[in-house]
């Protein structure tokens, strides 16, 4: 039986084992998928130990995505663009790093929420690792505009520099939260502000009736960002759909089979 796992610290509350077990059952793939707590200073050792036990692949979550990027001997284009790795594949060629987070986000928006990105105005809040991983997958869907707003404007400007030559020329722009112009069809909160029950200070005028507002975070209750967006006419989603979709994308990379996600997502809720 092929072995997979997710590395993180902390890891106790990870939903990934349940998600992958459901995918495996639905697609009749024989595999195991467990949680592994890696010590903060022992990620690489934990990965090598897992490979020595016959591990075929792994997911990587907080705080190891940058270390996984450095550990991988080969990277997919989207992992290179993201500068971070959430999915590892172990085979005779060594350790390959992929990043399925952005593809998961885009699948949740376009398929689960049924909102096309093509031709739309998209606002991305944040310019850290989570935001960076979203840019290329969003640009691949040809939005009319992708505005990136961040507390530290220079970090958002660096993303524009990076992605302008990759289909973002004239499409992607950067500003601080108070410099955001106009309203948007899709607003994505990729800041970690929700973790501190904080709100990126954007004007409510970024929303119009029917804007899709998505917070990459999720919890038992809607985040402050989701409440703010909903009170200004947006329809809101948390990050649970993105979580399930990034898992499906990783599962497909490992097994060559694409699992259906709707029922798994419904069961998680």
Question: Which of 154, 166, 245 has the alpha carbon at shortest distance from 146?
Answer: 166
Does the annotation flag 61 for ligand binding?
Answer: yes
Q: Which residue has the CB atom at the shortest distance from ligand ATR?
A: 128
Does the annotation flag 73 for ligand binding?
Answer: no
SS3 category, 216: coil
Query: Shortest gap between Cβ of 131 and ligand ATR (angstroms)?
Result: 6
Among the listed residues 3, 65, 120, 220, the single catalytic one is 65
Half-sphere exposure for 55 (CA within 13 Å, toward CB): 25
Does the annotation flag 14 for ligand binding?
Answer: yes
Contact call for residues 212 and 188 (beta carbons, < 8 A):
no
CA distance 259 to 165: 33
Does the annotation flag 4 for ligand binding?
Answer: no
Query: Shortest gap between Cβ of 244 and ligand ATR (angstroms)?
Result: 18
95's torsion region: left (phi>0), alpha (psi -120 to 50) or beta?
beta
CB of 64 or CB of 90, closer to ligand ATR = 64
CB of 66 or CB of 230, closer to ligand ATR = 66
Token pair listed for 200: 């990126």
CB of 107 or CB of 188, closer to ligand ATR = 188
Q: Is 120 one of the annotated active-site residues of the chain?
A: no
Query: Shortest gap between Cβ of 177 and ligand ATR (angstroms)?
Result: 7
Q: Is 72 in the site for ligand ATR (CB under 6 A)?
A: no
CA distance 216 to 237: 8
What residues numbered 167-206 form the site for ligand ATR, per CB under 6 A?
A: 191-193, 196, 198, 200
Question: Which of 133, 160, 136 has the alpha carbon at shortest distance from 149?
Answer: 160
Which residues, 6 or more positions from 264, have their beta carbon under 8 angstroms from its beta carbon? Answer: 19, 22, 23, 26, 244
The values of phi and psi at residue 127, to 5°, are -145, 20
CA distance 130 to 239: 12
What residues numbered 77-136 form the site for ligand ATR, per CB under 6 A?
A: 126-131
Residues annotated within the binding site for NADP(+) are 126-130, 216, 239
**Interacting residues toward ligand ATR by CB under 6 A:** 126-131, 150-152, 155, 191-193, 196, 198, 200
Residues taking part in catalysis: 65
Residues annotated within the binding site are 14-16, 61, 86, 101, 126-130, 216, 218, 239, 246
Residues annotated within the binding site for shikimate are 14-16, 61, 86, 101, 218, 246
């Amino acid at each position: 039986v092929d072995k997979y796992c997710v590395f993180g610290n902390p890891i106790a509350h990870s939903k990934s084992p349940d998600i992958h077990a459901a995918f495996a059952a639905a697609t009749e793939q024989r595999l195991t998928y467990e949680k592994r707590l890696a010590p903060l200073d022992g990620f690489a050792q934990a990965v090598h130990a897992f490979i020595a036990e016959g591990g075929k692949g792994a997911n990587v979550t907080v705080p190891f995505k940058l270390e996984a990027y450095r550990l991988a001997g080969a990277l997919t284009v989207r992992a290179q663009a993201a500068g971070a790795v959430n999915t590892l594949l172990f085979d005779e060629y060594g350790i390959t790093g992929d990043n399925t987070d952005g593809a998961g986000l885009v699948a949740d928006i376009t398929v689960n929420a049924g909102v096309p990105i093509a031709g739309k105005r998209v606002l991305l809040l944040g310019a850290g690792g989570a935001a960076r991983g979203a840019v290329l997958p969003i640009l691949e869907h040809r939005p009319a505009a992708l505005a990136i707003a961040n507390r530290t404007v220079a970090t958002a400007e660096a993303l524009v520099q990076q992605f302008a030559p990759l289909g973002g020329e004239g499409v992607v722009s950067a500003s601080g939260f108070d410099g955001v112009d106009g309203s948007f069809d899709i607003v994505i909160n990729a800041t970690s502000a929700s973790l501190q029950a904080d709100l990126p200070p954007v004007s409510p005028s970024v929303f119009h009736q029917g804007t899709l507002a998505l917070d990459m975070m999720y919890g038992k209750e809607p985040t402050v960002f989701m409440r703010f967006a909903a009170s200004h006419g947006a329809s809101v989603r948390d990050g649970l759909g993105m979580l399930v979709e990034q898992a499906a994308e990783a599962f497909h990379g490992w097994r060559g089979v694409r699992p259906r996600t709707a029922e798994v997502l419904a069961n998680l809720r």
